[in-house]
Amino acid sequence: MSPDESAALSFSDGTDLSSSDNSAFTIALIGNPNCGKTSLFNQLTGARQRTGNMAGVTVTSREGNCEWRGVEFHFIDLPGVYSLSNSRVEEKVARDYLIDSPPDLILNVLDASNLARNLALTTQLMEQGLPVVLALNMLDELEKQGHSVALGSLSESLGLPVLASDGRSKKYLPELLEQLLVVCRTEQCAEQGLHIEYEPHLEQAISELEALGIVRWMAVRWLESSGENDFNFDANQLSAAQSALALLGSRHDEDPAEMVAQGRYGYIHGLLHKSSSEHRDQSSADHWLDSIALNRWLGIPVFLGLLWLMFEATFTLGGYPADWIDTSVSWVGEQVASLMPESLLKSLLVDGLIAGVGGVLVFLPNVVLLFLFIALLEQSGYMARAAFLTDNLMSKVGLHGKAFVPLVMGFGCNVPAIMSARTIEEPRARLITILINPFMSCSARLPVYVLLAGIFFAEQAGTVLFALYMLGILVAFGVAAVLARTIPEQHDETFIMELPPWRMPSIRSLLLHVWDKAGDFLRKIGGVILVGSVLIWLLQSFPQNGTPWLEQLGHFVAPLFAPMGFGWQETVALLSGFIAKEVIAASLVVVYQTGMSDMAGLQAAMGESLAPASGLALMVFTLLYMPCLATIATIQRETGSWRWVGVSILMGLVLAWIGAWIVFNLASIWI
């Protein structure tokens, strides 16, 4: 706010109540990646969202509301950034937001266990003269390290309110909200931007620019970004800035960014000397878990072992609740069957709806467990370590260490996974990451595997699951290697990543996450899977005298799948699966309906008609063949071209057919 405007405001209102007639305030959350910002955002808004443990999972900002004592707070969760001056996507999003639509207040979230670096961003906000309140997260971790921060003294030195916060519990929340309210009402924030004294040559450059009417913080930001941060300077200002930058370059080996950072860290160390109990930056980053997880020889075996354990547990642990659901579903089916007279409606209900929907509902526990394990990997900080372990392999196929997160997210659902590839800036690496994502077996395919593995490989089901996911990864890497050699590279992207500290995942946010995913799955069952089941039932039941349409269709296409030993039932199920992969399981249940509405009946029927080798081939086909409708739409949106959608579909179908054929023939020899 310029001095003129603020004068006008206080004049028209007469008092300092200039903003208290407002009962709504916009507050933006900003902070370093992994500082616990999104957890705090969830606490504040009650939104059910995920905290990514890697930089840039939040590319677009999220919003949510919270009411506190009659005042409406509108929170905006900006992407995690280390700075505001780099040319990275997430920094640009945050930077533009703060300039174009400044919020009433900024809640700067800091990781107290790495305060110095977190405060570097704070100094940028303060230089810009923005109204800031600091929330210190992870104070407990700091105490575990045997340190402490005097919040009061830090607040005094900075001239800003400094509060404790915790993304894992609500204990600090009332105090935080109360303080936000006070600050919003009174605007008791520093009006003047922070003034850090930089190195003399840099100061000289800054004052030259200030003389031309450029605000100090803009001059600093322009120089530290080497002109990347464009503030619409006029021609005169721009040429002065460029010659100042050139002069600096001739006088110093260091980049202006380094010189500015030296100034910032000098200021920060002065602050911390007064208010923090630590005097040396001890390498508290070392953790006994890293001596295993990052061990040169153990790292990758441990990673693979964890993945295997995850799929084994998904299958076995999920089996118990799945049995309960199965029992309940068949009980409902029997009740309906015994209460209703023989009719088409009864058939629709029992053989269509209850069988199809129930057939997928059974897999809810497996899907929920898988999401739980992925969230655990993410929140604990292991995901970034796995990215480190696999970076070398990834770089060999034209991928980037950053592609790891979209790929693992693909185990959950390919749609958000493909969207999260936005964090990859190099266009080729991003395109490859998008195109190979459908090979990462999403949770929708899990019901099909669990069903088939349970029938044909009940003893080694977990291992079969693990092998399928591994096959998906191998195919993805193979395809990436081919794409990397056909698509030209645009520019090199460096791999610099911070390893977040190990963190105990918060039970609350894990449960919220799982609850959320279970809700998604149930909504999908109530929507597309319900419709799919009814559709399959219709095609299966009509015409009533003669071969049903579904069977006719199945027989028509079946020759294509005959080399893998699939019957018309499997053919039909695969055709229906392009709507959503869970529909494959629903279709199998409906077409194989044997009068028995429980899983055991279906398993017996399928086991009789399908050879184990065909069962395995069916799983492989399901794994590799075309993306589902939602994924196709996402690929189109993210690549902006139908051509890549075509490539993706064709590639999937061809690879699925070849893969299933190979697996069928190999398995026929061994099994």
Partner 1 sequence: MIFGDHMTLAQLNSRQTARIISITGPVALRQRLVALGVLKGHTISVAATSLFGSPRTYSVGKQQVCLRSKEAGYIHVELQA
Annotated binding-site residues for Mg(2+) read: 42, 45-46
Q: Which is nearer to partner 1, 291 or 641 (CB)?
A: 291
Smallest gap from Cβ 225 to partner 1, in A, equals: 7
Query: Judged by CB under 8 A, which stretch of 20-28, 61-69, 386-394, 443-451 contacts partner 1?
Result: 386-394
Of the candidate residues 20, 61, 86, 188, the single one contacting partner 1 (CB under 8 A): 86
| 128 lies in the binding site for partner 1 (CB under 8 A) | no
Q: Is 122 exposed, middle or buried (0-12, 13-18, 19+ CB in 10 A)?
A: buried
Smallest gap from Cβ 117 to partner 1, in A, equals: 4
Smallest gap from Cβ 386 to partner 1, in A, equals: 11
Query: Judged by CB under 8 A, which stretch of 19-27, 473-481, 491-499, 637-645 contacts partner 1?
Result: 491-499
CA 216, CA 206: separation in Å to the nearest integer? 7
Residues annotated within the binding site for GTP are 31-38, 77-80, 137-140
Of the candidate residues 96, 143, 203, 255, the single one contacting partner 1 (CB under 8 A): 255
Of the candidate residues 297, 544, 545, 595, the single one contacting partner 1 (CB under 8 A): 297
Of the candidate residues 31, 52, 56, 401, the single one contacting partner 1 (CB under 8 A): 401
**Residue burial 127-162, b: 16+ Cβ < 10 Å; e: rest:** bbbbbbbbbbbbbebbeeeebebebeebbebbebbb
| 52 lies in the binding site for partner 1 (CB under 8 A) | no
SS3 of 293, please? helix
Query: Judged by CB under 8 A, which stretch of 130-138, 191-199, 279-287, 600-608 contacts partner 1?
Result: 279-287
DSSP 423: G
CA 424, CA 398: separation in Å to the nearest integer? 12
Whether 420 and 405 have beta carbons less than 8 Å apart is answered as yes
Helix residue ranges, H only, 23-138:
37-45, 89-100, 115-127
Q: Which is nearer to partner 1, 2 or 283 (CB)?
A: 283
Of the candidate residues 12, 494, 544, 545, the single one contacting partner 1 (CB under 8 A): 494
CA 425, CA 492: separation in Å to the nearest integer? 10
Q: Which is nearer to partner 1, 185 or 252 (CB)?
A: 252
Smallest gap from Cβ 256 to partner 1, in A, equals: 9
Token pair for 582: 């869970």
Residue with tokens 């409902």: 332
Phi, psi (deg, nearest 5) at residue 433: -60, -40
SS3 of 250, please? helix
Smallest gap from Cβ 96 to partner 1, in A, equals: 17
CA 27, CA 184: separation in Å to the nearest integer? 9
CA distances from 555 to 108, 550, 552, 560 (A): 63, 9, 5, 10
DSSP 503: -
| 282 lies in the binding site for partner 1 (CB under 8 A) | yes
Smallest gap from Cβ 390 to partner 1, in A, equals: 9
Footprint on this chain of partner 1 (rule: CB under 8 A): 82-83, 85-88, 113-114, 116-117, 120, 224-226, 253-255, 257-258, 261-262, 265, 281-286, 290, 294-297, 299-300, 387-389, 391-392, 395, 401, 494-499
